[in-house]
Amino acid sequence: MTQAAVEVWRELACPRDRSALEPRGEALVCAEGHEYPFVDGIPVMVVDDELAPTQPGYWSSPEQVERVREAEPPPVEGEAVDPYVAELILGTHGNLYKHLSAGLSRYPIPDFPLPRGDGELLLDIGCNWGRWTIAAARRGYRPIGIDPSFEAIVAARRIARQLKVDARYVVADARRLPFADETFDVVFSYGVLQHFSKADVGISVDDVRRVLKRDGYSWVQMPNSLGALNVVRLAQRRFREGDAFEVRYWKPSELRRVFGRIGPTELSTDGFFTLNPQKRDLDLLPRRFRAVVHVSEALKRAHAPTTLADSVNIRSTRHR
Ligand SMILES: C[S@@+](CC[C@H](N)C(=O)[O-])C[C@H]1O[C@@H](n2cnc3c(N)ncnc32)[C@H](O)[C@@H]1O
Ligand SMILES: [Zn+2]
């Protein structure tokens, strides 16, 4: 491996014991001998240990890596949208975007919800093809996106290259972050931790705290069980907690308690009556769904209480 490649990855650490990594051939190795390959230049740092994959069918494995390497499509030209985006739209963007699985006229990239950055190092957890990672880069941050799916990360790298966005990507798990302590200014995550069991969210929150710099902060989107739409969804499944990759719903008090482990925590509204549509995507949505976004934005402007919002943002500042 070239010195340049090692330099680029100097933020990485062993996800098992957090110790420093040294290059050896096409791999990174820690002092304990744990080894992580670079596959076509992508660090693959998911760990096979007692934590079961959160999303087994979509998890990096030797088979997934082989399949993706054999079938990687060519990069698309000009303004065209990489076909992976339409293929994944239901998974990344949610039900209101379903009709777009037939194809897209532009990339559905949201406005980044944080203040303009000035080169701050930002981690995007569960980035998939990187809509938020790209949004963060365009807003002035220096982002690293992680996702346990090799397929998603290969697509993310391909799309970032097409769009000439400066972003780095690693195959990794939110619960086993492959970074040294106190690495990031900001940790961001949207639509990811909501699919984890409550125990797995606890593990991720503790690891987010660990990789945040002192005074750094995290910004995580989660569903509120007191939101009107979520009450209906919960009733439809007879108030089951949920399993596998189903959405788990959290009370604001529970969110404050768990994320409070990072440090002082505040909730704000992401949306009412919906878990994901973005104002920036209005032109891509059918008229009836546009109305939902307009109502949600109006309620936000009217300062409707966050405790009743369906989707909330949780901002936690790491204690000194
Ligand atoms: C609903 S998608 C959201 C993707 C992206 N954040 C967005 O908003 O477009 C959920 C993502 O979480 C990823 N994911 C699943 N388990 C994960 C884990 N343990 N750690 C990090 N990401 C995970 C999935 O691979 C998938 O890309
Ligand atoms: Zn190690």
CATH number at residue 85: 3.40.50.150
Q: Ion ligand 2 — residues with CB under 5 Å? A: 14, 16-17, 30, 32, 34
Check residue 82 and give its pLDDT. Answer: 96
Q: Give a yes or no: residue 220 inside a domain.
A: yes
Q: Whose CA is nearest to atom 10 of ligand 1?
A: 192
Distance 201 CA to ligand 1 centre (A): 13
Question: Other C-beta atoms within 10 Å of 302: how many?
Answer: 7
- Residue 303 DSSP code: T
In a domain, 230, yes or no: yes
Query: Among 112, 147, 246, which residue has the most ligand 1 atoms within 8 Å of its CB, making it the best to mutate?
Result: 147
Query: Which residue lies with its CA nearest to atom 1 of ligand 1?
Result: 92
3-state secondary structure of 206: helix
Q: CB neighbours of 83 closer than 8 A, spacing ≥ 6? A: 73, 76
Among candidate residues 225, 238, 205, 195, the one with its CA nearest the CA of residue 311? 225
Q: Is 135 helix (H, G, I), strand (E, B) or coil?
A: helix
Split into its structural domains, the chain has a count of 1
Compute the distance between CA of residue 12 and CA of residue 297 in angstroms, rounded to an integer: 39
Domain assignment present for residue 129? The answer is: yes
> Best mutation site among 98, 128, 278, 284 for ligand 1, i.e. most ligand atoms within 8 A of its Cβ?
128
Question: Ligand 2: distance of its center to the CA of 21 in Å?
Answer: 8
In a domain, 27, yes or no: no
By CB atoms closer than 10 A (0-12, 13-18, 19+), residue 51 is: middle
pLDDT of residue 74: 87
Indicate whether 175 belongs to any domain.
Answer: yes
pLDDT at 15: 97
pLDDT at 241: 87
Structural domain contains residue 263: yes
SS (H, E, C) 104-119: CCCCCCCCCCCCCCCC
- pLDDT for residue 127: 98
**In the prediction, which pLDDT does 274 show?**
76
As to burial, measured by CB atoms within 10 angstroms (0-12 exposed, 13-18 middle, 19+ buried), residue 31 is: exposed
Whole-number Å distance, alpha carbon 192 to ligand 1 midpoint, is: 5
Residue range 265-300, pLDDT digits in tens: 999 999 998 767 788 999 999 998 899 899 999 999
Spans in the chain with pLDDT lower than 70: 1-8, 275
The pTM of the full predicted model, rounded to 2 decimals, is: 0.96
Give the chain's count of helices (H) and strands (E). 10, 11
The enclosing H or E element of 252 equals: helix 252-259
Burial class (CB in 10 A: 0-12, 13-18, 19+), 62: exposed
Q: How many residues does the chain have?
A: 320
Cα 53 to middle of ligand 1, angstroms: 12
Token pair listed for 187? 């940790």
Which listed ligand is nearest to 176 at the C-alpha? Answer: 1
Q: What domain range is 288 assigned to? A: 42-317
Query: How many CA atoms lie within 13 Å of 70's alpha carbon, on the beta-carbon side?
Result: 6
In a domain, 55, yes or no: yes
pLDDT for res 3:
55
Kindly report, residue by residue over 90-149, the tens digit of the pLDDT: 989 988 889 999 989 999 999 999 999 999 999 999 999 999 999 999 999 999 999 999
In a domain, 23, yes or no: no
CA 126 – CA 148 distance, rounded (Å): 7
Residue 189 amino acid letter? S
